[in-house]
Chain A
């Protein structure tokens, strides 16, 4: 076939397209995935006790940490979903909330006597935390990947997968915070941070296989 003939075929009866569709679909998928994760969390574990100010403050801290990561990762995900989008993504900026968490963790530990460290680190439900966040992240992750396979064309697949994993992990952690009563900065930085990092790594590994086009 001559290339001119192909050009003719492609341009005949050309349909207009909406370039906003990519971002819209990915954000919609993330939203639906978040609702699904929320439903699972509330049905299985329920809302935490929020009867005192301390509980509200820690809920806000957890929301700020995970919410910041949700915002950054989704903002970058809709960029990296397009060809060449990796040039417009700074993985350093993504690392900032994690760096803040590490500093908070180090300061909290440094200011406390060593005998207090075990309860600060382990809390009451660290095992539930590290099981719930990655498992529940599969729902938003599946939704985001499904949307990307339909509409997106990332050209850096590992990084696109990593951002999808991070967004899903952060959404799952945000939802888990509604149940979690382990109120120490060390606990949040360590277990929330680690589980979100795990989701990022898994996303990066799956990206090339799932997002290839």
Chain B
């Protein structure tokens, strides 16, 4: 367990500094732990474990937007666990569960189960993007989907580089809000 903690933490610290490769690896691993955690918790709450993938993706989106709240000096697992549990409670309440309380467990529960069996979520990025204001949609499409650099996207759209960054960030926030509102 503690070696997992050390690895995730090391990767996350690099990711906070902007290391894409470390971030891709750590998000991949986090998504497997989240999947394991949510499948078990959803079936305990008499919910379809098939919704786990939706919840994994919603949580990854939130975690991405809130990654600045991780303090590099502190252990990573409790931070991840707190976000995962918060999103689970939020999901259960939103979907009218009688069981909206989730017992507080040891934070290491979050890395207890490494589940690689992914299914597709019900989220459809293209459909979600269509519901965003055009400047957010354009910025996200160029920078996040087509992988253009911020400078290239700025040149193509005529927006400034800082405007591109702001629009990507606000657009991702708007996307997360759309996903969390359950209107897909």
CB-CB under 8 A from A10, the residues of chain B are: 23, 27, 60-61, 64, 144
CB-CB under 8 A from A213, the residues of chain B are: 62, 66
Assuming the A-B contacts A21-B68, A84-B78, are A15 and B53 also in contact, with contact meaning beta carbons closer than 8 angstroms in the complex? no
CB-CB under 8 A from B82, the residues of chain A are: 83-85, 155
Please tell me if B56 contacts chain A, counting CB pairs below 8 Å: yes
Assuming the A-B contacts A19-B16, A84-B78, A153-B83, are A13 and B69 also in contact, with contact meaning beta carbons closer than 8 angstroms in the complex? no
| CA of A185 to CA of B16, assembled, Å | 49
> How distant is B140 from chain A, measured CB to nearest CB, in Å?
8
CB-CB under 8 A from A85, the residues of chain B are: 82
- Interface-located stretch among A1-9, A90-98, A104-112, A121-129: A1-9
- Nearest CB to that of B147 among chain A residues? A12
> How distant is A154 from chain B, measured CB to nearest CB, in Å?
9
> Residues of B within 8 Å of A, CB-based: how many?
50
CB-CB under 8 A from B81, the residues of chain A are: 84
Is the beta-carbon distance between A7 and B60 smaller than 8 angstroms? yes
CB-CB under 8 A from B83, the residues of chain A are: 83-84, 153, 155
Interface of chain B, main secondary structure: helix
Is the beta-carbon distance between B20 and A6 smaller than 8 angstroms? no
Is the beta-carbon distance between A19 and B31 smaller than 8 angstroms? no
| CA of A153 to CA of B83, assembled, Å | 9
Assuming the A-B contacts A12-B147, A14-B18, A153-B83, are A7 and B66 also in contact, with contact meaning beta carbons closer than 8 angstroms in the complex? no
Please tell me if B46 contacts chain A, counting CB pairs below 8 Å: no
| CA of A82 to CA of B71, assembled, Å | 9
- Nearest CB to that of A7 among chain B residues? B27
Q: Which of B7-38 contact A (CB under 8 A)?
A: 15-20, 23-24, 27-28, 31, 35
Binding site for B on A (CB under 8 A): 1-19, 21-22, 81-85, 87, 151-153, 155, 213
Told that A22-B69, A82-B70, A82-B71 touch, could you supply 12 new A-B pairs with CB distance under 8 A? A1-B121, A3-B121, A5-B125, A6-B57, A12-B144, A12-B147, A13-B143, A16-B18, A22-B68, A82-B69, A84-B107, A153-B69
